Structure 1
Amino acid sequence: MKSRHPDLPVFIVGHSMGGAISILTACERPSDFAGVVLIAPMVQMNPDSATPFKVFLAKVLNHMLPSLTLGSIESKWVSRDKKQVEAYDTDELNFHGGMRVSFGMQLMGAAARIEREIPSINWPFLLLHGDADKLCDIRGSRMMHENAQSSDKKITIYEGGYHALHHDLPEVAESVLTEVTSWITERLPATKSPQPQGS
């Protein structure tokens, strides 16, 4: 995008695991982005499910049976909109199988890297998270908002919101789109209007 539009600021928007990737990308190349928008990002593992025993077990299994599959995502927690859940279930581009142990280890590694990076984050970011999200722990978003150095940071909690806020109930999805658009627009450089000829 930078080579195609060298004069335009670049923003990165990431959701869920894409949120984790966006955070790590912005940490590696902070000067590439004018801002980062994160919708229900995976910032840390849910401490209720990633107990010390389960983490230990995952490490053992990763050495012995790395391709062993664990439980898959329950699609009913993606959105409160039944049509969106049906669309998720029938989308062939979504992976509907179980998560492999080796993949789970990669997620844990990413979460550990993010936790180390958060105190040095100083780029602008907007965090959006539903407080009923059962797939990515909201505590991670709160922790990032509290501990990042950024002077330009904002968190919006959607009451009752599920995981894919941009595909949640129509009024929530619309509110998310409006907020993201406004946040980005406010950070665009002011453009000079062309002067009329002969003035």
Structure 2
Amino acid sequence: MVEITEGTHQIGDVSLYTKTWKPDGPAKAKVVFVHGFNDHINRYCEFFPTLASRGIEVHGFDQRGWGRSVKKSADRGNTGPTPQVMSDIVTFIKAQLPSPVPVFVMGHSMGGAQVLSLASDPLYEDLMPSIQGWLTESAFLRFPKGQEPPGLKVVLGRLAGRLLPRFQLFAALPAENLSRDPEVVKSVLDDKLLHGYGTLQQLANMLDRAAALDAGRAKLNKGVKSLWISHGTGDKGTSCEASEAWFARQTHVQDKELKLYDGWYHMLHCDLPSNREEFYNDVANWILARSGTEEPRQVAESKL
């Protein structure tokens, strides 16, 4: 039996929606999860309940500008600048510390890049010893080939953003590019909380974080202990090749794993009903192997 609770977390004058999935019995580990662009924490199919059923407590929140943290139309996509984004995530992580069990941080898509940016930020180097491992799903480090926005549009958007940082621009990925499951695609189109807008400031900052990671300008803090990077080779929203290249450069991290899912789309957690449980178990096995509760399991398809 999984215990699910909802609440809010106050950060300054902003109240962020939160949700927790707890196992029936003592937790073996905790995961703080960071969602992606045009997303919210209630859109992860059976991923979080499955982790909780394995003894992993999951803590998630709707970021500023997204999901149930949006209180009025002007809030949509208005995350604030990168320092604010990082501060929000750190505040939420620290709410789980100190912890009697190992703590892991995971992010999907834009959230994946935010997690890696946080792990690379010297300002938060003192946080690294408290985090047992960092995980990403389909991290946004670059657009896939053929899906890049026109360069002129990006340049003009950045110029306009200096004058109108809170101007909202529709930038959602096509629903059919997110999952191979037609029911999931339909649910994306029907979800009233998926507004699809980012502010010019938010979009520019998201691109800047991705570019810094992709180009190697943002480097992981030395205290990072473990990494698990996952991506679908059929992802039409973010570049699988960029995740592979970034992973290959992390030679100083001894405990790291890259898992590629052949042909899967952007939402590994909501891919086909027949295979998504494979992703859930891969994540759970990796976390539990680093929590002192299960022996490490080597995955044949992984690249180390």
1:145 matched residue in structure 2: 247
Q: Secondary structure at the match of 1:12?
A: strand
Separation in 2, partners of 1:141, 1:51: 22
Residue 144 to residue 9, structure 1, CA distance change in 2 (3 Å): same
1:2 aligns with 2:97: yes
Match of 1:79 among 172, 175, 179: 179
1:134 matched residue in structure 2: 236
Q: Deviations over 1:16-47 (max 9, x none)?
A: 11112221233333222101121101123557
1:116 matched residue in structure 2: 217
Q: Secondary structure at the match of 2:259?
A: strand
For structure 2, the 5+ residue unaligned runs are 1-95, 295-304
> Is 1:119–1:147's contact at 8 Å kept on the other side of the alignment?
no
For structure 1, the 5+ residue unaligned runs are 192-199
Q: Name the TM-score, length of structure 2 as normaliser.
A: 0.56
Residue 123 to residue 57, structure 1, CA distance change in 2 (3 Å): farther
Q: Secondary structure at the match of 1:157?
A: strand
Q: In structure 1, give the amino acid aligned to 2:263.
A: G
Judging by fraction of residues, say which structure has more strand.
2
Separation in 2, partners of 1:46, 1:62: 24
Residue 144 to residue 123, structure 1, CA distance change in 2 (3 Å): farther
Separation in 1, partners of 2:138, 2:97: 26
> Is 1:130–1:161's contact at 8 Å kept on the other side of the alignment?
yes
Larger radius of gyration: 1
Separation in 1, partners of 2:115, 2:255: 17
> How do 1:1-199 and structure 2 match up within 5 A?
1-3=96-98, 6-27=99-120, 28=124, 29-46=127-144, 49-50=148-149, 52-66=151-165, 67=167, 69-94=169-194, 96-114=195-213, 115-118=216-219, 122-148=224-250, 149-189=252-292
State the aligned residue count: 188
Superposed CA RMSD: 2.4
Judging by fraction of residues, say which structure has more helix.
1
